[in-house]
Structure 1
Amino acid sequence: MEISWGRGQESRRLLLSLLFFTTWKVGSGQIHYSVPEEAKHGTFVGRIAQDLGLELAELVPRLFRVASKGRGDLLEVNLQNGILFVNSRIDREELCGRSVECSIHLEVVVERPLQVFHVEVEVKDINDNPPVFPRTQKNLYIAESRPLDSRFPLEGASDADIGENSLLTYRLSSNEYFSLEKPSKGEQVKRLGLVLRKLLDREEAPEIFLVLTATDGGKPELTGTIQLHITVLDANDNAPAFDRTLYVVKLPENVPNGTLVIKLSASDLDEGLNGDITYSLSTDSLPNVKSKFHIDPVTGEIMVMGHIDFEESKSYEILVEGIDKGQPPLAGHCTVMVEVEDTNDNVPVMEFKSLSLPIREDASLGTVIALIRVSDLDSGANGQVTCTLSPHVPFKLVSTFKNYYSLVLDSALDREKLSHYELVVTARDGGSPSLSATASVSVEVADVNDNAPTFAQPEYTVFVKENNPPGCHIFTVSARDADAQENALVSYSLVERRVGERALSSYVSVHAESGRVFALQPLDHEELELLRFQPRQPNPDWRYSASLRAGMHSSVHLEEAGILRAGPGGADQQWPTVSSATPEPEAGEVSPPVGAGVNSNSWTFKYGPGNPKQSGPSELPDKFIIPGSPAIISIRQEPANSHIDKSDFITFGKKEETKKKKKKKKGNKTQEKKEKGNSTTDNSDQ
């Protein structure tokens, strides 16, 4: 591929060999591409959708998007073909300065499910910057008395490119007085200067004009120049001299103003004013040096006068001159290299790139809830950040790529137990002492319908008098659901079954919303003694009913509800009752007064302590209920004029004793009838 660029009036063509846009996967979804800087709009970078394993048809539905912090719209993706291309001008020097490595980090996010991919696009340098000198002309004043091999330092050029494109070589225009001292490989400070090769004669050549040219190593090469104007002076024989040409000083960042960096001292072999030295920063010093440091002109002490920040600059090169007061003045030069040491003065920063809330309580383990990016401006261990999560929560942090973390579900959720979590994420660097930052994340748990409705009790016993009006309200059931909103709305219905020849729903109905139960027709005791219905699966809770009819035996039946017959006493009739709280082995008793006839219908029912006596109506009831009782009640009727103990008419004992008592009474019944001469009146029609 051949690409040409025009810069100014000069047109240069750059021949690029075939570009291989290679990709490879690293870690969790990392892809690497490369692209030359200054590439034209639409330049192909890579098939990003294909390399990420995404189908073209799902890019739009899954909300495929690409973001790059602080990089604007340099790169774009065609959602029709999934190709990543250059969208606007990429200037590597503007993007990364003099950094050797330069890349654009892209975050590719798709939804349903949420996935994040990381793409690094390396920006390749091209030789698009020529060498530049600090100024277009430099004036030097050199005494004619200076000896041969005297050296006069020059400020070199700078090139914004990197690598071979920034390697500079220098050449000096042809002349008979000076040669060029060039920097050599491996030098910490690239010294550049003039070396006097022929003694100067002011009378012969008061001024000398030279041109210094810098050429970079790019192809094609670019150049920059500076004009050197040398004025030959008459006077002062010796220039000040420092004991070193280079001083190296280490300085911690954030030191207060006034901190001493170094004290310099130069010597001059001359006497008087010719040997009196004044110190100053060279006019060739960079602006950031002049704003950070000050040198005392008399003592030579260099002190801090501005904020020293390692994150702003890791080193400063201070050019110092020592100038005597001779006429003309002579100068000596040295360089002070200040290396700034990092301190842990930056707190980690957390950015929540994406949140997927609320989370359903049935979400699967590993579901991504949030993406977190952490950063720290410090270097080394001071800039290495680790993240931790508040303990005892069903979530965890997973490191995904460099300074990226995913907040994921680690164990099952139950909204009914806990519907809200306040998570605290802590980012801590590796400094000593370390610095940390915290961020809170509120996680709401969304409800799913995972709880069935439940009733307040498993079974209800309802007493209904016969001949009720149709549609009367007989009971209300109530159930609750632990879920929320529409998942907690409860509706009621009957479990259909047959009652005799008819369906249950022909007798009762339940309102779907309120749970109110209604009798649809009058209930007839003779036709329907017991009615069961279920708003839910029945629970085997024991209830007892006994038939009291003179002249016959009746046993207790296990039922769930009873319909009581109303006697002549009407609605205010008091029915015999018993206590269900009587502890075993106490037995109940029921007895008429001694000597009273059956026809008197004067009954006293007692079961257990503390139960008051209740007088029965003029007619014996056909049925009564003993809730929760383990008792068996039997009633038998003897002939009229019999003189048996009236307490024997009713046997009232515990269920397990029934068979024994029946066998015992069966053997004694004939004997009792022979011994008693009187018989009772027949009440069988009651």
Structure 2
Amino acid sequence: MEFSWGSSQESRRLLLSLLFLAAWKAGSGQVHYSVLEEAKHGTFVGRIAQDLGLELAELVPRLFRVASKGHGDLLEVNLQNGILFVNSRIDREELCGRSLECSIHLEVIVDRPLQVFHVEVEVKDINDNPPVFPGTQKNLFMAESRPVDSRVPLEGASDADIRANAMLTYTLSPNEYFSLEKPSDDERVKRLGLLLRKSLDREAAPEIFLVLIATDGGKPELTGSVQLLIKVLDANDNAPAFDRTLYAVKLPENVPNGTSVMKLNASDLDEGSNADIIYSFSTDILPNVETKFRIDPITGEIMVKGSIDFEESKSYEILVEGVDKGQPPLSGHCTVMVEVEDTNDNAPLMEFKSLSLPIREDAPLGTVIALISLSDRDSGLNGQVTCTLSPHVPFKLVSTFKNYYSLVLDSALDRESVSNYELVVTARDGGSPPLSATASVSVEVADVNDNAPAFAQPEYTVFVKENNPPGCHIFTVSARDADAQENARVSYSLVERRVGERALSSYVSVHAESGKVYALQPLDHEELELLQFQVSARDAGVPLLGSNVTLQVFVLDENDNAPALLPRPGAAAGGALSELVSRSVGAGHVVAKVRAVDADSGYNAWLSFELQPAAGGARSPFRVALYTGEISTTRPLDEADPPRQRLLVLVKDHGEPALTATATVLLSLVESGQAPKASSRVLAGAAGAETALVDVNVYLIVAICAVSSLLVLTLLLYTALRCSAPPREGTCGPGKPTLVCSSAVGSWSYSQQRRQRVCSGEGAPKTDLMAFSPSVPDSNDREDLQPANGDPLSKVSFKYPLLIFIFNLKFYFLYSINFFLIKKRSG
């Protein structure tokens, strides 16, 4: 818009004011600028980036943007230099009407991290609107009998500017009949009037032309004018008169149609038709009044005929005219000021801006998740909005500016406990009754790798029979990770170490995904009884987290070694045993002893000796001790016995199937005087062997007694603890699994039926693979332990050394019985 200035000095002042900036104001995160309306495109407003403390280089990477509700194109920011400038024409009157305060509120938003700044640009008024009258000509009718000093109301001009630019002064063209009456001090109604200073004479001057000029207080001054045509009439010389020239009424908004606003009353001193008054709205009334109200022409009652909305207009100025029926008609005027009272008829409006989702579970406290903008069209308490958050969640609302809230993190998050939060934000105004609006926000928690894989137990015990096929599955480890996706993807590996001269990886391997443990080669009990190693579980998160579990693999013995015969001291290995026997020995005399060993252990190494029947079915005068291998006479020898006796002794272990070896014993029967040295040597050897056996068995008995005492003490202590401990389940519930021996060679399993331990020589075949854990976990965890052949793995409540001790105790008992039998025979 172009202006004309009265002087170059005033032009320079206006140009300087157009470039004027408000000083930067700190506080509440707000920057304040000002700009004159009608400023040209590109006019400098302020260095917004510098004033907000932002670097120019980070404006583009941080997505610097400016938002203004409804006025987004008026101002713009140059991202190269951070300057806020005028982008399009700013008309203060179009933007704010006649409001004294007019500002453009900008929201400056940057990301990474999310920040919001509030910038207020005040639009200052310039004198760009001249005073305007409702029309270019006004016709007035006045009776010539109108008394001097009577007043005729006039409609003043209006100016769209504010303050000094809208302060109007009026002047009237020179004339001899009328003078101008200035507006009253009442700010609500500023009406003009003409005062009659000289009596009218229709015959001398039937019409009078006047010019009314309005001048505003701007620099430069702007003016407007209207022509007044006054027609002088005869007769009816008393105009209707209202009780008051100004009526003030308060009217609540949203009243129904037909509601009475007020009833006017005007009086006329004339009589007859000259006193009959017709009420109507003045022709100078604003259009919005005619759409909202109507007046009864007879009674003067003003009623509502449209929707009264406080948010649309806070007040109405109704100009009422009372005209009598005289000739010519005379009129009286009054003004009705209707002030609209606000009611709480608008619920708050809520808008979410810049949602930063999902949020990491390790996000620091105070992290901004969302920005919430609130507004309410009502005023006063009805427009004061508060915001609340529900339910009780680790978030809170922080008021950052007027009607602005930030949703921030208030306490630590744990995705493994809660992975998603459904928040309800409620905005409520201060009206009575209050109105509210709600909005739901789903906050997803993003996972971070804060949980290491965990095994159900720190240690597992596995039993594997020796001579297993290469690559057989011996156990499965399983670790659980409470994280999600890649952070929960577990892989398994061996913790490498040396087993003797060889690496652990030459014995076993573990599948990286399934956790299955395989034996890479046949295991030999005689070479390796216990293989202890660790399996590591690692997740795929960043950083990697992991844990280890220990596996104790016990290699169970199988009967894969036959008995081996030991030669007599001084004799060649592999040869027959030769002895000289005097014919004079009596029954029960030990003449020789077969010695053998077995590389196996337990039952598989327990040897028994049997004498094979002689050829031809002849009954031999010799016998062999079942467990010692000593060959003795069954009767006194006589002359009928052959001089050379060839005995075959079968040595057999107790494995399944049993393995055997055969020893050949050659006995030469001689007369008593022919082999005294040999006989004494044999007897001496037998005596020495018996003495050694007695010594060994004495130590064995002492060891058995000590171990038996320890076993009894352990069982008593365990029973006392079990009886004193409260039961974990009801008296009718199932008991703990108990250890059951399912075969004669010690294959152990569990029974869910009874608590006592039983042993039977019959039953299911031996299990090839058994696993024991140091403690019996709950029944829910038993599915994690499965053997290679699908049978459930057994779990025991005792430690495995106690099981081995009980398992081998019967061998000591059998050896003790054998010792007493030998002593009895030798006695």
Q: Same fold (TM over 0.5)?
A: yes
**Are the aligned partners of 1:606 and 1:612 in contact in 2 as well (CA < 8 Å)?**
no
Code of the aligned partner of 2:414: D
- What is aligned with 1:119? 119
- What is aligned with 1:110? 110
Separation in 2 of the partners of 1:81 and 1:566? Answer: 98
Q: What's the CA shift for 1:673?
A: 8.0
Separation in 2 of the partners of 1:335 and 1:512? Answer: 94
- What is aligned with 1:5? 2
Q: Secondary structure of 1:123's partner?
A: strand
* RMSD of equivalent CA atoms: 3.5
Separation in 2 of the partners of 1:550 and 1:533? Answer: 32
Q: What's the CA shift for 1:314?
A: 1.1
**Are the aligned partners of 2:460 and 2:771 in contact in 1 as well (CA < 8 Å)?**
no
**Are the aligned partners of 1:28 and 1:401 in contact in 2 as well (CA < 8 Å)?**
yes
- What is aligned with 1:300? 300
CA offsets, 1:243-277, max 9 Å, x none?
A: 11111111111111111111111111111111111
**Are the aligned partners of 2:365 and 2:412 in contact in 1 as well (CA < 8 Å)?**
yes
Separation in 2 of the partners of 1:480 and 1:566? Answer: 45
**Are the aligned partners of 1:28 and 1:117 in contact in 2 as well (CA < 8 Å)?**
no
Separation in 2 of the partners of 1:305 and 1:172? Answer: 39
**Are the aligned partners of 1:544 and 1:628 in contact in 2 as well (CA < 8 Å)?**
no
**Are the aligned partners of 1:582 and 1:609 in contact in 2 as well (CA < 8 Å)?**
no
Separation in 1 of the partners of 2:343 and 2:66? Answer: 35
1:569 lines up with 2:657 in the alignment: yes
Q: Please, which moves more after superposition, 20-29 or 506-515?
A: 20-29
- What is aligned with 2:357? 357
Q: Please, which moves more after superposition, 132-141 or 14-23?
A: 14-23
CA offsets, 1:115-172, max 9 Å, x none?
A: 1111001111111111111111111111111111111111111111111111111111
Q: What's the CA shift for 1:530?
A: 1.2
1:58 lines up with 2:58 in the alignment: yes
TM-score w.r.t. the length of structure 2 is 0.69
CA offsets, 1:382-433, max 9 Å, x none?
A: 1100000003100000000000000001011111111111101111111111
> More helix by proportion, 1 or 2?
2
Please show how residues 149-160 of structure 1 align to structure 2 within 5 Å.
149-160=149-160
Q: What's the CA shift for 1:569?
A: 3.1
**Are the aligned partners of 2:361 and 2:412 in contact in 1 as well (CA < 8 Å)?**
yes
Code of the aligned partner of 1:308: I
Q: Please, which moves more after superposition, 446-455 or 330-339?
A: 446-455
- What is aligned with 2:824? 676
Quickly say closer, same or farther: Cα 1:64–1:97, change in 2 above 3 A.
same
Q: Please, which moves more after superposition, 478-487 or 212-221?
A: 478-487
Separation in 2 of the partners of 1:514 and 1:198? Answer: 117
Separation in 2 of the partners of 1:238 and 1:14? Answer: 57
Separation in 2 of the partners of 1:604 and 1:132? Answer: 117
Q: Secondary structure of 1:113's partner?
A: coil
- What is aligned with 2:760? 613
1:15 to 4, 13, 21: 13
CA offsets, 1:60-107, max 9 Å, x none?
A: 111111111100311111111111111111111111111111111111
Q: Secondary structure of 2:94's partner?
A: helix
Please show how residues 98-247 of structure 1 align to structure 2 within 5 Å.
98-247=98-247
**Are the aligned partners of 1:470 and 1:520 in contact in 2 as well (CA < 8 Å)?**
yes
**Are the aligned partners of 2:461 and 2:553 in contact in 1 as well (CA < 8 Å)?**
no
CA offsets, 1:297-339, max 9 Å, x none?
A: 1111111111111111111111111110001100011111111
Quickly say closer, same or farther: Cα 1:23–1:465, change in 2 above 3 A.
farther
Code of the aligned partner of 2:307: H
Q: What's the CA shift for 1:480?
A: 2.1
**Are the aligned partners of 1:235 and 1:328 in contact in 2 as well (CA < 8 Å)?**
yes
Q: What's the CA shift for 1:23?
A: 3.5
Quickly say closer, same or farther: Cα 1:675–1:581, change in 2 above 3 A.
closer
Code of the aligned partner of 2:339: E
Separation in 2 of the partners of 1:282 and 1:332? Answer: 10
Q: What's the CA shift for 1:230?
A: 1.1
- What is aligned with 2:719? 585
Instruction: Give structure 1 stretches of 5+ with no counterpart.
Output: 552-564, 571-579, 592-600, 639-644, 651-668, 680-686
Separation in 1 of the partners of 2:225 and 2:492? Answer: 95
Q: Secondary structure of 2:289's partner?
A: helix
Separation in 2 of the partners of 1:590 and 1:204? Answer: 142
Q: Please, which moves more after superposition, 96-105 or 477-486?
A: 477-486
**Are the aligned partners of 1:637 and 1:649 in contact in 2 as well (CA < 8 Å)?**
no
Q: What's the CA shift for 1:674?
A: 8.6
Q: Secondary structure of 1:309's partner?
A: coil
Please show how residues 84-95 of structure 1 align to structure 2 within 5 Å.
84-95=84-95
Please show how residues 472-551 of structure 1 align to structure 2 within 5 Å.
472-536=472-536, 537-538=548-549, 548=602
1:30 lines up with 2:27 in the alignment: no
CA offsets, 1:340-367, max 9 Å, x none?
A: 1111111111011221111111111111
Q: What's the CA shift for 1:589?
A: 13
Separation in 1 of the partners of 2:287 and 2:176? Answer: 35
Quickly say closer, same or farther: Cα 1:143–1:473, change in 2 above 3 A.
same
Q: What's the CA shift for 1:543?
A: 9.0
Q: Secondary structure of 1:238's partner?
A: coil
Separation in 2 of the partners of 1:380 and 1:179? Answer: 45
**Are the aligned partners of 1:183 and 1:190 in contact in 2 as well (CA < 8 Å)?**
yes
Quickly say closer, same or farther: Cα 1:33–1:582, change in 2 above 3 A.
farther
CA offsets, 1:157-206, max 9 Å, x none?
A: 11111111111111111111111111144543112111111111111111
Q: Which structure's CA Rg is the greater one?
A: 2
Separation in 1 of the partners of 2:418 and 2:245? Answer: 72
- What is aligned with 2:539? none
- What is aligned with 1:427? 427
**Are the aligned partners of 1:14 and 1:220 in contact in 2 as well (CA < 8 Å)?**
no
Quickly say closer, same or farther: Cα 1:491–1:237, change in 2 above 3 A.
same
- What is aligned with 2:735? none
Quickly say closer, same or farther: Cα 1:635–1:243, change in 2 above 3 A.
closer
Separation in 2 of the partners of 1:331 and 1:567? Answer: 138
Q: Secondary structure of 2:98's partner?
A: coil
Q: What's the CA shift for 1:550?
A: 5.0
- What is aligned with 1:248? 248
- What is aligned with 1:629? 798
CA offsets, 1:625-645, max 9 Å, x none?
A: 99543533455879xxxxxx8
Separation in 2 of the partners of 1:61 and 1:155? Answer: 59
1:258 lines up with 2:346 in the alignment: no
Separation in 1 of the partners of 2:535 and 2:242? Answer: 105
Separation in 1 of the partners of 2:715 and 2:216? Answer: 107
CA offsets, 1:17-60, max 9 Å, x none?
A: 45542333444421101111111111111111111111111111
Please show how residues 446-457 of structure 1 align to structure 2 within 5 Å.
446-457=446-457
Q: Secondary structure of 2:61's partner?
A: coil
Code of the aligned partner of 1:400: T
Separation in 2 of the partners of 1:120 and 1:225? Answer: 38
- What is aligned with 2:625? none
Separation in 2 of the partners of 1:354 and 1:604? Answer: 71
Q: What's the CA shift for 1:455?
A: 2.4
**Are the aligned partners of 1:604 and 1:615 in contact in 2 as well (CA < 8 Å)?**
no
Q: What's the CA shift for 1:447?
A: 1.0
Separation in 1 of the partners of 2:26 and 2:134? Answer: 43
The aligned length equals: 614
**Are the aligned partners of 2:529 and 2:554 in contact in 1 as well (CA < 8 Å)?**
no
Quickly say closer, same or farther: Cα 1:456–1:324, change in 2 above 3 A.
same
Instruction: Give structure 2 stretches of 5+ with no counterpart.
Output: 537-547, 558-600, 608-652, 659-713, 723-737, 750-754, 773-794
Quickly say closer, same or farther: Cα 1:231–1:624, change in 2 above 3 A.
closer
CA offsets, 1:283-307, max 9 Å, x none?
A: 1111111111111111111111111
